[in-house]
Amino acid sequence: MSTTQSERLRELLEPLVTSQGLDLEEIAVDSVGRKRVLRVVVDSDTGADLDQVADVSRALSAKLDETDAMGAGEYTLEVGTPGAERSLTERRHYVRATDRLVKFQLHEGGELVARILAVDDDGLDLEVPGVKGRKATARRIAFGDIDKARVQVEFNRKANDNSDNTDMKEEEEA
């Protein structure tokens, strides 16, 4: 029963990340020239701010220093968040992406770009944007129908709720 270095690192580091109120999303050990880089990706339902990432980075560094989990050679520890165009692989990822536009690769071979409206144990309620003046349509897909899913960056999304904009305009005018 062999375990990979990444699995051993996950077992060692996940409790520390969890104790900081974050989820351990990914661990990767890569060789860059003669050096090794340990990349740790963390997140939470409310996101992870720079202070949280710094705190967890210090905790992970201390834990790694007191063990031989990375071996005797030099390595660099990089701790970060998943980024804007993250892949969605777990139910919690879909929950975090509610109201976001997502590109889906479906098992049946098709591709779909839609906004996640709601997530339950079985799947997703989506809004498929209308094309060429047509209205958006509702669609339901099961988790089992999804091959891959990735959040899309939207640069010019129009807000549904203008109350924030109205409040800001009123403050500017005052």
Has residue 73 been placed in a domain? yes
In whole angstroms, what is the distance from residue 111 CA to residue 126 CA?
14
CATH assignment at residue 30: 3.30.300.70
pLDDT of residue 165: 38
**Residue-level pLDDT at 157:** 65
* pLDDT value of residue 158: 58
Q: How many domains does the chain have?
A: 2
Full residue range of the structural domain in which residue 37 is found: 5-80
Identity of the amino acid at 73 = G
- pLDDT value of position 120: 94
Residues 30 and 63 grouped into a single domain: yes
98 within a domain of the structure (yes/no)? yes
Residues 149, 88: contact at Cβ < 8 Å?
yes
**Burial grade of 170 (CB within 10 A; 0-12, 13-18, 19 or more):** exposed
- CATH assignment of the domain containing 129: 2.30.30.100
Identify whether 158 is part of a domain: no
Q: What is the pLDDT along the chain (174 residues), one digit of tens a residue?
A: 446 888 889 999 999 999 999 999 899 988 878 888 999 999 988 888 899 999 999 999 999 999 888 887 888 999 998 887 778 988 989 998 999 999 999 988 899 999 999 999 999 999 998 888 889 899 999 999 999 999 998 887 655 543 333 333 333 343
Tell whether 53 and 119 lie within a shared domain.
no
The maximal CA–CA distance of the chain, rounded, in angstroms, is: 69
Domain C-terminal end among 54, 80, 106? 80
Are 9 and 72 within one domain? yes
